[in-house]
Amino acid sequence: DADVTQTPRNRITKTGKRIMLECSQTKGHDRMYWYRQDPGLGLRLIYYSFDVKDINKGEISDGYSVSRQAQAKFSLSLESAIPNQTALYFCATSDPRGSNTEAFFGQGTRLTVV
C-alpha cells in the first residue's frame, strides 16, 4: 500500500463545478502539501499545512481551498473549477524531525476541467 494516497486518480469535471481532491498518509508526518504540475512549469505549491491547526497559502493558492481534517488527511477543493485548473495535482508529506526535508509524493490526481 502507498504511504501517500490520493483519490481520485483521474477526474473530469465541468466548468463551475465544485470538486474535492483527497489525500491520506500513513507515514505519520505532520507536514502536508498540495502541488500542481503543468507542462513546462514544474511543480508549484498551492497550500501547505504543518499540523491540523496550521494552514498556509503557497505560491498559487487563488481559486483553491484546503482542509486538514486530521494529521493523516489533507484535502484540496476547487470551489468553482475553471479550465486553467486542468493539471496534475500532487499531495506530499515531510517530516520536520531531524535534518531531512525530503518530500514524499502521492501518485497524483489528473484533473481535467472542460
Partner 1 sequence: EDKVVQSPLSLVVHEGDTVTLNCSYEVTNFRSLLWYKQEKKAPTFLFMLTSSGIEKKSGRLSSILDKKELFSILNITATQTGDSAVYLCARNHGSSNTGKLIFGQGTTLQVKP
User: How many residues belong to the chain?
Assistant: 114
Question: Could you say which DSSP state residue 93 is in?
Answer: E
- Binding partner 1 (rule: CB under 8 A), the pick from 8, 17, 96, 114 is 96
Query: Among 48, 74, 75, 85, which residue sits at the site for partner 1 (rule: CB under 8 A)?
Result: 48
- The distance of closest approach from Cβ of residue 21 to partner 1 in the complex, given in angstroms and rounded to an integer, is 14
Task: Select the span of 11-19, 45-53, 60-68, 71-79 touching partner 1 (CB under 8 A).
Answer: 45-53
Number of residues near partner 1 (by CB under 8 A)? 27
- Contact between 45 and 56 (Cβ < 8 Å): no
Pairing mode, if any, of strands 104-105 and 109-113?
Answer: unpaired
Distance CA 29, CA 112 (A): 29
15 or 99: CB nearest partner 1: 99
> By CB under 8 A, is residue 88 in contact with partner 1?
yes
**108 forms part of the interface with partner 1 (CB under 8 A):** yes
46-67 burial by CB neighbour count: b if 16+ within 10 A, else e? bbbbeeeeebeebeebeebebe
C-alpha cell at 35: 502541488
Give the binding site for partner 1 (CB under 8 A): 4, 31, 33, 35, 40-45, 48, 50, 58, 88, 90, 94, 96, 99-108
